[in-house]
Amino acid sequence: MNEKGGCGKTTLTVNIGAYLASQGKKVLLVDMDPQGHIGKSLGINVRSIDISIFDVLLEDDIFLSDAIYETTTPNLDVVPTNKRLTDFVINVSKHNDRHLKLKNSFVGLDYDFVFIDAPPSLGLISINILMAINEVIIPVSLSFLALDGCAEMLDTIKTVKRNFDKKDLVISRVIATFYRETKLANKILEKLQHHFGDKLCKTILKFDVKIDQGQSFGKTIFEYSPYSAGAKMLEDIAIEVLKYDGRSSW
């Protein structure tokens, strides 16, 4: 999550998930961004999907398991979404459990990891995500606005922890993205290091056009260009995510 768009949320979700899947973990990706970029990055035509996360959240007799699609990467499944999710907020506005719709849909799942891709805004969808999870991963492109988005995230997380008594919610990793050697980028990196210490991934996701190209072909970086710099950085980041030591079950 980061309320700033274009800081690498979807790219990281897809490729961290794909790497862990390649290592034998069973991984589910859930797209909670109405832009539908998770499905699009994986070559799924999100306009024509029968059942999306929207239907799961709205209908009592449609379950998350009904909306799961296999991907071309073994062990990697996805719950795609599309623009219909935009109507979610208005449709549930009168429901008392409107902030718990996603959490309540997580029943009977058999996965080692579930990664949820978030929209670039902090509203009811993001609250639903925060209520359903225990770890937040924040990508920060090394720009002023992404740093600001990160600060907003910290506030939101604090509010959710306090207002909903969600004590188990932690930021497990902060990932610096789109690094270019400039004074401002280095200053932001220093700030992140100071604030997050060990939670800041040592691997920085630098620019590699192969990442963007892969997505345009509906492929993970490991399918599209497994020996590229992008694949190596995303693999290293995934390993750091896996090694987060505050996770009790691993």
Ligand X SMILES: Nc1ncnc2c1ncn2[C@@H]1O[C@H](COP(=O)(O)OP(=O)(O)O)[C@@H](O)[C@H]1O
Where does this chain bind ligand X (CB under 6 A)?
5-11, 37, 120, 205, 207-209, 211-212, 215
Smallest gap from Cβ 97 to ligand X, in A, equals 28
Smallest gap from Cβ 60 to ligand X, in A, equals 30
What are residue 174's DSSP bridge partners?
138, 200
How far apart CA 55 and CA 51 sit, in angstroms, is 6
∠ CA 49-69-211, nearest 5°, is 95
User: Backbone phi, then psi, for 32, in 5-degree steps?
Assistant: -110, 20
How far apart CA 113 and CA 242 sit, in angstroms, is 10
Residue number, 15 or 73, with CB nearest to ligand X: 15
How far apart CA 142 and CA 204 sit, in angstroms, is 10
Smallest gap from Cβ 8 to Mg ion, in A, equals 8
Compose the 14-53 pattern: x for residues touching Mg ion by CB under 5 A, - for all others: -----------------------x----------------
User: Would you say 208 and 236 are in contact if contact means Cβ atoms under 8 Å apart?
Assistant: no
Residue number, 11 or 143, with CB nearest to ligand X: 11
Region binding Mg ion by CB under 5 A among candidate stretches 5-13, 67-75, 161-169, 227-235: 5-13
- Token couple for 221: 């970086």
Residue number, 10 or 126, with CB nearest to Mg ion: 10
Give which of Mg ion, ligand X, none residue 208 binds (C-beta under 5 to 8 Å, depending on kind). Answer: ligand X
173 contributes a contact to Mg ion by CB under 5 A: no
Residue that the structure tokens 């309320």 belong to: 3
Q: Which residues bind Mg ion (CB under 5 A)?
A: 9-10, 37
